[in-house]
Chain A
Amino acid sequence: MQEDTQPFQLLDALFEPIVIIDDKFKIIYYNHFFSTFTKASPRIIRNAQTIFKIINVEEKILQTLLATASANNQVALSQEMEIKLASDASEENLAPDRQVHASMKVIPLSTTRYILCFNVLSVEKGLHRKYREKLEELKRAHGQIIQADKLATLGELSASIAHEINNPLAIAMGHGEILERVLENETIQERELVDNAYKNISEALQRIKTIVMNMKSFAHKSEEKKQYHDLISIIDKSMMLVDTPFRAAGIDLKFERPVDKFITLVNRIEMEQVIVNLLKNALDALREQSTISAAHIHGIVEIKLKKNKQDECLEILVIDNGPGIPEKIQGEIFSPFFTTKEISEGTGLGLSVSSKIVEGHHGKLQLTKSSNEGSIFTVQLPLIEVSSYVASVNALNASNDASRKKILVVDDEEKILNILSTFLEEVGHTMIGSTDPSEALEMMDKLEMDLIITDYNMPRMNGHDFAKNVRKKSNSIPLIYLTSSQFLNHFQEDRQKYNIAGLILKPFSKEDVTTIIDGVFKEAKKK
């Protein structure tokens, strides 16, 4: 006998899986959504003897629910539970049993008819789990950032502590030396005791000095990884890294490559990070502009590289024609965690990290222009001679070995500079690099050095003219030519004329270099 299901058809309009069963758990009616929910075809549901063929819940639980509902003649609610949806009976559904998280509700219609509906919580539960996971992830990341920021602060702090300690340390070490000198010539009864005490004090102070030096290098961790690089190639690489997003956004990226190389002493990876960061910021500013402004301004980002004669530094300018940075936030853009981007898009660390990197290079990162026509960010880096001189003096200061020398190397190839710098450092000397003979000559006036090694074949001023100019300034400083055998005759010509102390022939080994340098220094000492 077919039961009249007409009144139940209303249930089809509901977006909840609902099924009507009798007290023997046979399915009397089910709505569309139930079929969707169980992923069982109507045929299977129709043929199912009991609801348990479709939904795998414990009979006892459902039995109890029906009993409770029936006894009180009111809605009975189950706890949230995992409900397995049986798939065995279905040929369409070959997937393993699906599990959903749901609660069941039973509404008694009569003693033999019950409405059973499912409150599916899987999505909510899944979302909640995901939310919890993401929240944890966010907390972890935030913790890491805080940690990184703490470390950076610690680094800055240790730099200033180092500075504070150096004054009393200088006093202690210096007066120690004076004591030693005075006591040397005195007759003291407890000679051995005094000597020993002095030795202990001096060793302890030396240890403090080493600790302070290490603290300083912790503050500038990048120091040891700095090498001579051409800024042009660093910019090229950075542009390559952001090429895809610029293309996708239809924004032009221009770089007017200077003819001359711009070699200086930097940590390549870090400098790339800075430039990429500035380019991405410019890109974001232009993207934002294109979404808000009706007037279609074609986005252009331009990089300029130049030497600032007045400030004696190299400058990288990142110029965009975006909307500019509002005046009220200009002061904050370099602070950590400051961001104008959506939460998931920016950490607010880009500019603060970049600015720390540039400072680590003894340079400056500044917003040099911002109007409604665009912004300019400027990275200032010290000239190669200055940055390498600072590194050299700091290295010399770290050791007490007075035989270590400051050697000026003039060569326009970064590779040669890097190789020589490694060789010279390995034998305990320090190097001041220069790529430009006229700049090197100026440096001679300004800074003090012990030896000059110069490449012979350089654009604009060759070794011969350079040597001539060096000798105008100083007769005593030893000068060594660095050249390939094709210019050997020049060395022979200039040798007497400009008192060239030696020759390093390219290609050279570490031994070649050290033998010649040692010889030159020995010779200089005799005089």
Chain B
Amino acid sequence: MKFLRLENKFSALVVDDEQQICDMVKIFLTFSGLFENVVTANDVIVAKQKLSNQKFDLIIIDNILPKRGGLDLVDYINNYSRNANYQKTRIILISGVLKAEDVISATRYGIKHILVKPFTNQKLIAAACDILGISTPNKDSEL
């Protein structure tokens, strides 16, 4: 199966307090050939700034962020896109540990995709493709 490279690539915002995780996710996304313009933020305040500057197709958020949790940001984004009449933002939650209460609260915010660290490139891209409603690129088409 040949994967057709999209003319318009997707944009993404990665929010994690560890820069190295942000870097890694950014590289994963750009390597897939599906994304261009991947922006990173280390806390909620910066993330909100970036959000006010542009619209993202996909947002990847760490469950545990300093000061206010990742879900706070999710809530903000949901309200924001509702008010701005954007279509529902697609969000992937990444988490160091998965507890039932995390699942319950995540689902309340409409998040279907939760990745537990450490995750592989393959898992991240699979989740991203699923959420964007496109088919997974096979390895040959990457890079």
B103/A390 in contact, CB under 8 A: yes
Secondary structure of the A contact surface, majority rule = helix
Q: Is A209 an interface residue (CB 8 A)?
A: yes
Smallest CB separation, B125 vs chain A (Å): 11
B142, closest chain A residue (CB): A181
B116, A394: Cβ atoms closer than 8 Å: yes
> What B residues does A386 contact at CB under 8 A?
100, 103-104
A86 CB to nearest B CB, Å = 75
Is A170 an interface residue when CB atoms closer than 8 A count as contact?
yes
Is A23 among interface residues, defined by CB-CB distance under 8 A? no
**CB of B3 within 8 Å of the partner chain:** no
Q: Is the CB of A181 within 8 A of B100?
A: no
| Of the residues B18, B116, B122, contact of A393 by C-beta under 8 Å | B116
- Of the residues A173, A363, A394, A402, contact of B98 by C-beta under 8 Å: A394
Asked whether A175 lies within 8 Å of B24 as measured between CB atoms, the reply is yes
Given that A167-B96, A448-B112 are known contacts, is A185 also in contact with B143, CB under 8 Å in the complex?
Answer: yes
* Stretch in A158-166, A251-259, A369-377 touching the partner: A158-166
The residue in chain A whose Cβ has the minimal distance to the Cβ of B126 is A402
Q: Is the CB of A159 within 8 A of B107?
A: no
A209/B100 contact (C-beta < 8 A), A171-B18, A448-B112 known: no
Is B117 an interface residue when CB atoms closer than 8 A count as contact?
A: yes
Residue pair B100, A170 in contact (C-beta under 8 Å): no
Asked if B118 and A209 make an inter-chain contact with CB atoms under 8 angstroms apart, the answer reads yes
A170 touches B99 (CB 8 A): no
Q: Pick the residue among A173, A312, A397, A445 that contacts B104 (CB under 8 A).
A: A312
Q: Is the CB of A390 within 8 A of B96?
A: no
Interface string of B8-22 (1 = CB under 8 A from A): 000000000010110
* Chain B stretch 1-52: residues in CB contact (< 8 A) with chain A: 18, 20-21, 23-25, 27-28, 31
Q: Does B114 have its Cβ within 8 Å of any Cβ on chain A?
A: yes
Q: Are B100 and A166 in contact (CB under 8 A)?
A: no
Which residues from B are CB-within-8-Å of A240? none
A174 contacts B99, CB within 8 Å?
Answer: no
Interface string of A412-443 (1 = CB under 8 A from B): 00000000000000000000000000000000
The distance in angstroms between the C-alpha atoms of A178 and B97, with both chains bound, is 23
- Chain A window 166-186, contacts with chain B (Cβ cutoff 8 Å), 1 for yes, 0 for no: 110111111101100100010
Determine the residue in chain A with the shortest Cβ distance to B24: A174
Q: Kindly state whether residue A400 has any CB partner on chain B within 8 Å.
A: yes
A434 to chain B, nearest CB (A): 14
In the complex, A362 has a CB within 8 A of chain B: yes
Instruction: State A390–B96 Cα separation when bound (angstroms).
Output: 13
Please state if B98 and A166 are interface contacts (CB–CB under 8 Å): no
- A166 and B143: CB pair below 8 A? no
Chain B residues in 8 Å Cβ range of A10? none
Task: Report the bound CA distance from A178 to B127 in whole Å.
Answer: 18
Asked if A382 CB lies within 8 Å of chain B CBs, one says: yes
Chain B, interface residues (CB within 8 Å), range: 35 or more
Residues of B within 8 A of A171 (CB): 18, 20-21, 24
B90 lies within 8 A of chain A by Cβ: no
Given A167-B18, A171-B21, A174-B24 in contact, is the A363-B100 Cβ separation under 8 Å? yes
Instruction: Tell me whether A178 and B100 are in contact in the complex, defined as CB-CB below 8 angstroms, given that A171-B18, A394-B116 are known contacts.
Output: no
Does A483 sit within 8 A of B, measured CB to CB? no
> A389 at interface (Cβ–Cβ under 8 A)?
yes
**Least CB distance, B3 to chain A, in whole angstroms:** 15
Whether A178 lies near B130 (C-beta < 8 A) is no
Residue of A nearest to B31 (CB): A181
Q: Choose from A164, A169, A393, A445 the contact partner of B118 (Cβ within 8 Å).
A: A169
Q: Are A397 and B116 in contact (CB under 8 A)?
A: yes
Is residue A472 within 8 Å, beta carbon to beta carbon, of the partner chain? no
A178 in contact with B126 (CB, 8 Å): no
A364–B98 CA distance with the chains assembled, in angstroms:
16
B121 touches A174 (CB 8 A): yes
**Whose C-beta in chain A lies nearest to the C-beta of B22?**
A171
Q: Once the chains are docked, how many angstroms separate the CA of A237 from the CA of B97?
A: 34
Among B28, B107, B122, B130, the one with the most A-chain Cβ atoms within 10 Å of its Cβ is B107
Tell me which of B20, B96, B104 contacts A166 (CB under 8 A). Answer: B96
B123 touches A447 (CB 8 A): no
Interface residue A328 (Cβ < 8 Å from any Cβ of B):
no
Asked whether any CB of chain A lies closer than 8 Å to the CB of B120, the reply is yes
> What's the nearest-Cβ distance from chain B to residue A246, in Å?
33
Q: Is A87 an interface residue (CB 8 A)?
A: no
- Residue with the greatest number of chain B CB neighbours at <10 A, chosen from A164, A397, A400: A397
User: Which listed residue (B18, B24, B113, B117) contacts A178, Cβ 8 A?
Assistant: B24
Pairwise interchain contact B97-A166, C-beta atoms closer than 8 A: yes
Question: Chain B residues with Cβ under 8 A from A312's Cβ?
Answer: 104
Query: Residue on B with the closest CB to A175?
Result: B24
Q: Which residue of B lies closest to A208 (CB)?
A: B118
**Which residues of B69-113 have CB atoms within 8 Å of chain A's CB atoms?**
96-101, 103-104, 107, 110, 112-113
- What is the 8 Å Cβ interface bit string for chain A, positions 340-364, against chain B (1 contact, 0 not)? 0000000000000000000000110
A387 within 8 A of B: yes
A393→B122 CA distance, assembly (Å)? 16
Chain A nearest Cβ from B23, distance in angstroms: 8
Question: Looking at the complex, which one of A174, A362, A402 makes contact with B100 (CB distance below 8 Å)?
Answer: A362
Contacts A174-B24, A390-B103 given; does A448 touch B130 at CB 8 Å = yes
- Cβ-closest 4 pairs across A and B: A362-B100, A446-B107, A170-B118, A174-B24
List 25 A-B pairs, Cβ < 8 Å: A162-B97, A164-B96, A166-B116, A166-B117, A167-B21, A167-B117, A169-B117, A172-B118, A174-B24, A174-B118, A174-B119, A175-B20, A181-B31, A181-B143, A362-B100, A362-B101, A382-B100, A386-B100, A386-B103, A394-B98, A397-B119, A402-B120, A446-B110, A447-B103, A447-B107
Instruction: Using CB atoms and an 8 Å cutoff, list the residues of chain B in contact with chain A.
Output: 18, 20-21, 23-25, 27-28, 31, 96-101, 103-104, 107, 110, 112-114, 116-123, 126-127, 130, 142-143
Given contacts A390-B100, A394-B116, A448-B112, 4 further A-B contacts (CB under 8 A): A166-B118, A362-B100, A390-B98, A402-B120
